[in-house]
Structure formats: C-alpha cells, structure tokens
Structure 1
Amino acid sequence: MMVRGIRGATTVENNSAEAIIEASQEMLQQLVSDNDVNPENISQIWFTVTQDLNAAFPARSLRNFRDFQYVPVMCATEINVPESLEKCIRVMVSYNTTKKQKDIRHVYLRDAVKLRPDLSLTKEGGSR
C-alpha cells in the first residue's frame, strides 16, 4: 500500500454555511464513490477555500459521512491569486491504497471543472 493524493474542487454561488456544506458534501460523496474510499485508509483530509468563503468550515460536511469521525481534517485559505476562480472549495485526501496514480479519480464539479478539464471527465469520456 502507498499514500496517494485524491484531489477535488467545487464552487458555490454564495458565501453561506448551507452552500459550503452542501457543495463540500457533494464533492466528497463523488470522490469517495469514484475511488471506493474506506475512511479507515485515509491519512488526512485538507480543505482550502478561496478568501471570499468564510461562512462555514467545509470540514463540517464530514459529519454527514458514516465512520469519518476519526479522520483528521484541516481547513485553510487559498492564496489570493488575481483572477483566480472565485468561491472555490478544494480538497486533498491522503489515502492509503494499492491503486496506481493513473487509476485515481479526481473530482472537479460545477465551475471547478475549469481548473482541470483534463481530469474532469468520466471514464466513459463525457463530462460529469
């Protein structure tokens, strides 16, 4: 087994706790499903948000996932790069797996598909 990083990103339309938690949960559900993630094999989860999001910690979304209560999680603010994607939530899951890097399914939802269009495709070749 080896530690692999699984990336994800999504956006919200407004800076509200409900929007941040909902979008974070949607992104994590997709990431967990696409990669058959078992929380027991997660080393840590890091969330970042752009500086225009401060209504809630995206880590709160983990409370809605079974068996995730012991997963170490942190939140931070992204650097403020001019003209970068606004209202964006990113995640990095450090996961112990036997999968090869090329087999990891990164998740980019909503406007965040602009960040990595090359990784924003399903296995069938269509967009998410």
Structure 2
Amino acid sequence: MGVRAVRGATTVAQDSTVAIDESVRELVSAMIERNGIQKDQLISLLFTATADLHAMFPAAAARAMGLGDVPLMCAQELSIVGAVTHCVRVMMHIEDDRDRGQIHHVYLRGAVGLRDDLPE
C-alpha cells in the first residue's frame, strides 16, 4: 500500500469554538467522503490555523468526530501579508494505491480559490 496526502482548507466565520468545530468537521468529512477513505486508511492529520484563530485546536474537532486514535497535530500557519484570514488547513496522510491525480483535494468557504490549479 502506498502513502498519499489529501489537502484541504476552509475558513471560519468567527473565532469561536462552535465556528471552528463546525468548519473543521465539515472539511474533514468532505475530504473523507470525496475520496472514499476508510478510517483504517488514515495515517495522520496535520492542521494549521491562521494566527487570528485562538478559541480551540482544530484537532479537537477531529477527535470529537471519532478520530482520536489517529495521530493529529496542530501548528500555526505562516502569517503572510494578504493571505486568507480565519483559515484552517489540513494535510491528511492516507494509505492508498491511487495515482496522485485521482486524489480529490477539498477547499471550502473562503478557501475555495487557494489552490484553483488542482483538479476538482
């Protein structure tokens, strides 16, 4: 079995636990569903959040979804002038033999244009 990475990002309406939890659950669920990923395929998830998000760790939302036995890590996104604000990004590592071109990366809400070079 090979290793693949699935990318995703979303924005959060406000810096609150409810808003972050909702956005992260929506994003992780969409990444899993669009790629037909089974839980036993998950290797790890790395979350980053922009510096304007403080209310909760994005990984806490993934744990609450039942992914507590999957290694999860959070980090702060680089603070770049002009970057999307209130943004959570995730890199999901999976065991999968598909070609890279068959992986569907997911960008939601205000993050839709971050990687418009990637196929749908």
Fold match by TM threshold 0.5? yes
Match of 1:79 in 2: 78
Structure 1 outlier segments of 4+, above 4 Å: none
Match of 2:115 in 1: 116
Match of 1:124 in 2: none
2:110 and 2:98 mapped to 1: Cα distance?
Answer: 28
Q: Deviations over 1:68-117 (max 9, x none)?
A: 22100000001111111100000000101011100000000001011012
1:18 to 1:34, Cα distance in 2 relative to 1, 3 A: same
1:18 and 1:71 mapped to 2: Cα distance?
Answer: 22
Match of 1:27 in 2: 27
1:32 and 1:105 mapped to 2: Cα distance?
Answer: 10
Match of 1:62 in 2: 62
1:120 to 1:60, Cα distance in 2 relative to 1, 3 A: farther
Structure 1 runs not aligned, ≥5 long: 122-128
Structure 2 runs not aligned, ≥5 long: none
Q: Give the alignment's Cα RMSD to 1 decimal.
A: 1.3
**Alignment TM-score, normalising by the size of structure 2:** 0.94
Q: Aligned AA for 1:17? A: T
Query: What percent identity do the matched residue pairs reach?
Result: 39
**Alignment TM-score, normalising by the size of structure 1:** 0.88
